[in-house]
Chain A
Amino acid sequence: EVQLAESGGGLVQPGRSLKLSCAASGFTFSDYYMAWVRQAPTKGLEWVASISYDGGSTYYRDSVKGRFTISRDNAKSSLYLQMDSLRSEDTATYYCTTVGYSSYIFPYWYFDFWGPGTMVTVSS
C-alpha cells in the first residue's frame, strides 16, 4: 500500500524559511517522479513543484521559482521542499504526491497518490 506522510509544517513569519519532508513507503520510490501540490484555506489546488526520478530535473511554478527548492533522497525514500522568503500567499496545506505518467498523442502527468498534507501558515 502506497503511503506518504508529510511533516515540517507550522507557523512561520514572513521572510523566514521552512523545510517540509515527505516519507514514502509501499512502493519503489526511485521509480516515480514526485511533486508538491498546495491548497490555500477554502481554495482550490495549485501545483508547486515536481522532481524527476533521480532529482536531475526539477520544475517550479513561477511564483515560487527562486524561493522554493524541491529535492529527494532515494536512499531514504524521502521528498523535501525547502521554502525560503516565505510570503503570506504561501499559506496552505502542502501535499506530497506521486506523479503518474502516460501518453496518448503527447505525454501527460497526473497525481496518483497523495499524503494527508501538512499545514503551513505564514503570518507575523
Chain B
Amino acid sequence: DIQMTQSPASLSASLGETVTIQCRASEDIYSGLAWYQQKPGKSPQLLIYGASSLQDGVPSRFSGSGSGTQYSLKISSMQTEDEGVYFCQQGLKYPNTFGAGTKLELK
C-alpha cells in the first residue's frame, strides 16, 4: 500500500497568515493527489484534486502544488472558517490511502 505522511500534525495560524501543509507519498503518485477539509461533526469536503486543480466553489486562497512524492496545500490568507482538519489522499492505486490529518486552529 502507498503510505501518505502529513506534516505537521497540528498548527495554529493568525488571521491573514499564510499556511502550508505538507504531504509525502511512499512512492511516486504522478499528481494523483487530493486534499480535503473536515470541520468538527461534518463530513470531509474536497478542496483540491490532481495535486493543483481547485474544486468548484472552493475559495481561491486555497492552492495545491507538488509532484512525484512531495505535495503541499497552501492557504494564502488564513480565515476563521478555515479551522478544521485537512487530509491528503492518493488516488493512483488501490487501496486509496489518506494521510493522518493536520489540525489547523486559529491563533
Contacts and interface: CB of A to CB of B under 8 A. Distances in A.
Contact of B32 (A44, A61, A106, A112): A106
Contact of A108 (B50, B55, B100): B50
A28 interface: no
Q: Classify chain A: how many residues form its interface, as a range.
A: 20 to 34
B31 A45 contact: no
Contacts of A27: none
A118 to B, nearest CB: 11
B15 to A, nearest CB: 27
A100 interface: yes
A26 to B, nearest CB: 14
B87 A114 contact: no
A106 B49 contact: no
A47 B45 contact: no
B84 interface: no
30 contacts: A44-B87, A44-B100, A45-B36, A45-B44, A45-B89, A45-B101, A47-B97, A59-B94, A62-B95, A95-B43, A100-B49, A102-B50, A104-B30, A104-B31, A104-B32, A104-B51, A106-B32, A107-B32, A108-B32, A108-B50, A108-B90, A108-B91, A108-B92, A109-B32, A110-B34, A110-B49, A111-B36, A114-B43, A114-B44, A115-B43
Interface of A: 44-47, 50, 59, 61-62, 95, 100, 102, 104-117
A44 B90 CA distance: 14
A107 B49 CA distance: 12
Given A47-B97, A102-B50, A106-B92, A112 B55 contact: yes
B44 to A, nearest CB: 6
Nearest 5 A-B pairs (CB), nearest first? Answer: A108-B32, A110-B34, A109-B91, A108-B91, A114-B43
